[in-house]
Amino acid sequence: MNFPRAPVLSSVAGRTAVIDDAESTLGRSVRASLQASGMAVAAGEAVPDLYCALSPFHGPFGPRTRSSKPSRARIRAMATAMARRGRGRMVLVTTEQSRQVFSSAGARQAALQAGELHWWRHLAAEFAPRGVLINMIALGYAPFAGHSLPPEAERDYYRYLAIRRPAHSDDLAASLLFLASDDCTAMVGQVLSLSGGLGLCPIPAPSKATPTQESPPPERGVQAPVGSNPFLLQGRTAIVFGASSGIGRATALELAARGAAVAIVARSTDALDSVVSEITSAGGTALAIAGDVLEPGAIESAVQRVWRELGGLDSLIYAAGYMPLQSGDTGKEGWQRTFGVNLDGFVRASEAAIASWVERRRPGTIVSVSSIGAHEAVIVPNFESYGASKAAMTQYTRCLARTWARHGIRANCIQPGIVRTPMAEWIHPRFQAGWIARMPIERLCEPEEIARPIAYLASPASDYVTGEVVKVDGGFVLGRIPPLGDAP
């Protein structure tokens, strides 16, 4: 393969889409975005590759109207038709009100919308085994979708955001295209928020007299899919920690395939050389840095080398990880090593990258690779320290997103489930079978399926996404219970 390749857009071009409520304000914007990306918007009775349902409850964003509610019977019929074919994508576009409590919005409307989301989650779990992947987008304040607030209320709203601007049409287009593409094959029933970090629950400054931003930037229109591909990383530089195998290796290859110059950090020089060779032989740029994240100064030195030898740094990906299950490393030393690799190394890497960006007044992106073990109590010997360290990593990432947003720095977290990596080889086959039985996609995830959402979060396509915890777990966290009596 020659680098760079064209992710996302190349996989959706020529495919068909049906938009529910296509003549609404939001529907017309979505249709224009999909058509600009090369998709054909089909008639309502066709069985498309993508079905997009619009349920934009305006609530606190005004005006006090909303588009017609999508018919559940029609949605289920569409999912069934896709399942007969063996493939399909469905996306619900709703409003962030479903996950926030706005004092200016009615509780009944919020409850109805929350119920709608939960219905879609059940639908996702039901149809994923039959090849239909269903996810949701929660849209924040978006004038292009028909939202309208008085100037004073608009200014107040921005004070509650990490990224203080409204959602634009190209933000929605990029997220929708990502969920519809071949880059998204292990996300099931997830909500991707386009709210500029509203979910971080920031506390605004006491004074309303000097808001950070008096008014939003002008609406950009549907530009992202036209002319340039926002999923590409040409001219950008990334550093990937833990890049010798598994998710880190796949991520380094994916970033390079999108045009990024990639610095890869790990202990194994042979494995690093193999990754560099694969990237450079395909026409990419890569720098191997042998180092142990537990060694004092190793992380800081690696970041400095990237600036010195590759001329810049735009993205930090921290995929280094350690699970005491691998070695039976118990007791205090095992706990310290687990936290040292999974949390302390990430903290040091983030501090080094952020310091370099702030000093140079450069924006940057951070993506941490956590685990659904951060919030699911998986019963595995010695798993407590791993789960606790990943939970700390997740929350640290969210705090970074809020703290450094004013410097143009975004931070997001990926939470994989069980993935076919060297770490997973330590898991007993019967335990794997039990885990897979609870996943709607009914299989292990592949490292590449985690790498592609990471690349999305590192790209301009996700410029309005920060502080998000994106679960790429095949739907495990939906809590699917297999038919009782059929447990493996």
Question: What is the three-class DSSP state of 419?
Answer: strand
State which H helix or E strand residue 265 sits in.
Answer: strand 261-266
Distance of CA 169 to the CA centre of its chain: 18
Distances in Å between the alpha carbon of 235 and those of 80, 243, 295, 329? 43, 21, 31, 42
Please report the DSSP string for 276-318 in residue order: HHHHHHTT--EEEEE--TTSTTHHHHHHHHHHHHHS---EEEE
- Tokens coding 164: 């203080």
Q: Which of 51, 158, 160, 386 is catalytic?
A: 386
Q: What gap in Å lies between CA 228 and CA 223, rounded to an integer? A: 8
Tokens of residue 282, six digits:
């395909």
Separation of CA 367 from chain center: 9
Q: Catalytic residue at 386?
A: yes
Element (H, E) at 179: helix 169-180
Q: Are 170 and 225 in contact (CB under 8 A)?
A: yes
Cα 389 from Cα 405, distance rounded (Å): 24
d(CA 430, CA 433): 5
- Calpha distance 194→464 (Å, rounded): 6
- Say if residues 343 and 389 touch (Cβ distance below 8 Å): yes
Which residues are marked as active site? 386
